[in-house]
Amino acid sequence: MTLSQGSTSTPANTGADGRAGATITLAGPAGLKSASATWAGSSTYLPASMTVPFQVDKETIALTVQGPLVITSGTSASAPISADVVEAPDGTYAGSLGLVSVAFRRLDGSLVCQATAAPTSPGRAVATCSAAQSVGAQAVIATATSASYTGLADVGVSTVTTSAATAGAGGIGPRDTGFVATAAKKGAPAGNLVLVVPSVGGIAVLSSSALTGLTTSCGGHPRTCAGTIDADVGLQYVDPVAGLASAPAGIGIAHLDLRDLGDPSGGVSPDLWAEAVSGAISDALGTSLNPVGLDYGNWRLVG
């Protein structure tokens, strides 16, 4: 008999159990396909054929955004933003990561920049682009477009600061933050804070409407710093499937405990943090007495 899929056919013989099989490499994009088995007939058996449909799904990828901390002497800077693109570890690689396009957008849907992923190792790639950003922290939504892959959106925080401000960008697991804060002689500190945390409603993004508190203290040798930031925040949810942000979904209070223990070395940050959120959403990581280490990032506390 002949087994076929698309334009590819191969002969196959039945075994003692009456079954025949062959391996055909699938070509073309994912989607609905069909396979056929055809028997031309013989002096003993009549001709026969059968066609069955089957679905080829796109390979799954995961996006992970790690927002930068950029220092400027002005009021804005070109901020590079990148996303790691990782193919699902299912034993095979589609090998098309270099064709994945990653778009980075603000919560309002406007485009920050867009980049094609560059493979770095089997099953891994990185997409990086830059755009002008004013001093402050902003949430960035990354989404991928590809004929071969599908994956969920991710949210990171891009931060631009001056050297005179307490600032940071970093995260651990699904939590990311970025902040810029400058103490005032009177009144509340200036600046802003963005905190991204997981939730059942999607990816929760908390953006400060106002900073309400800032403390920093430094000392010792080598010099280390500790500090806290408090902020009134507004909540929006990002749908990880569509990559779109919701309308404002409530307000809350965010508190960060920070330990600036030095600059990253060898890609590893020594800095620690804890966060607590209350109000429209509740979340917590670590405590002031037991802060946790960063997966990536850097705090720059001024005191």
Q: DSSP characters for 97-138?
A: GGG-EEEEE-TTS-EEEEEE-EEEETTEEEEEEEEEEESEEE
Q: What is the pLDDT of residue 287?
A: 97
Question: Is residue 93 very low, low, confident or very high in pLDDT (cuts 50, 70, 90)?
Answer: confident
Residue 156's CB is within 10 A of a number of other CB atoms, namely 27
Mean pLDDT, rounded, for 13-42: 85
Residue 95's CB is within 10 A of a number of other CB atoms, namely 13
- Higher-pLDDT residue of 303 and 141 is 141
N-to-C CA span, the chain: 80
Q: Is the pLDDT of residue 148 over 90?
A: no
Question: Is residue 44 very low, low, confident or very high in pLDDT (cuts 50, 70, 90)?
Answer: confident
Residues 275, 255: contact at Cβ < 8 Å? yes
Q: Which of 51-55, 93-97, 107-111, 145-149 has the lowest mean pLDDT?
A: 93-97
Chain center to CA of 33:
32
Joined tokens for residue 238: 């990002």
Tens of pLDDT, residues 229-284: 999 999 999 999 999 999 999 999 999 999 999 988 877 889 999 999 999 999 99
Query: CB burial class (10 A; 0-12, 13-18, 19+) of residue 121?
Result: exposed
Question: Is residue 222 very low, low, confident or very high in pLDDT (cuts 50, 70, 90)?
Answer: confident
Q: Is the pLDDT of residue 54 over 90?
A: no
What 3-state class would DSSP assign to 49?
A: strand
Q: What is the pLDDT of residue 112?
A: 97
Question: Is residue 146 very low, low, confident or very high in pLDDT (cuts 50, 70, 90)?
Answer: very high
Q: Is the pLDDT of residue 28 over 80?
A: no
| Per-domain boundaries in the chain | 2-56, 59-300
pTM comes to: 0.85
Question: Which residues does 98 contact at the CB level (< 8 Å), separation at least 6?
Answer: 116, 117, 118, 119, 125
Residues 182, 161: contact at Cβ < 8 Å? no
Q: What is the pLDDT of residue 74?
A: 96
